[in-house]
């Protein structure tokens, strides 16, 4: 997804286009955003972000536990945002 966004941004910023090429790109992006797959990706992203924020709030409030990984911050973050 990030690659697609970077390519689209590069096309818009760096390409020597006429208005109709940019219009086709805009139409393609709108069509992509209206697909069921895009909606599924958005829904999964929102769910993962919501779960992560709830878990982080519990940790901040002192109700949640982080794994005892010593000073390894990467392991703690992996625990928070890793797959369930």
Tell me, what's the pLDDT at 21?
73
Which of 25-29, 45-49, 64-68, 74-78 has the least mean pLDDT?
Answer: 64-68
- Between CA 38 and CA 15 the distance in angstroms is 26
Domain boundaries, the chain: 1-34, 36-84
Mean pLDDT, residues 36-62: 87
Which residue, among 49, 50, 67, has the nearest Cα to 59 in the 3D structure? 67
> Is residue 56 within a helix (H) or strand (E), and if so which, with residue range?
helix 36-61
Q: What angle do CA 24, 30, 34 make, to 5 degrees?
A: 145
What does the DSSP 8-state code read for residue 35?
S
Share of the chain above pLDDT 70, in %: 79
**pLDDT tens-digit profile of 12-46?**
766 655 667 778 888 998 999 999 999 999 999 99
- Predicted model pTM: 0.48
Tell me, what's the pLDDT at 67?
57
Residue pair 1/33 in contact (Cβ under 8 Å)? The answer is no
């Amino acid at each position: 997804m990030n690659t697609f966004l970077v390519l689209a941004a590069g096309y818009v910023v760096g390409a020597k286009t006429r208005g109709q090429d940019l219009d086709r790109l805009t139409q393609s992006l709108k069509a992509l955003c209206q697909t069921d797959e895009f909606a599924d990706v958005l829904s999964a992203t929102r769910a993962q972000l919501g779960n992560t924020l709830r878990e982080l709030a519990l940790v901040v409030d002192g109700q949640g536990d982080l794994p005892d990984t010593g000073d390894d911050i990467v392991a703690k973050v992996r625990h928070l945002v890793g797959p369930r």
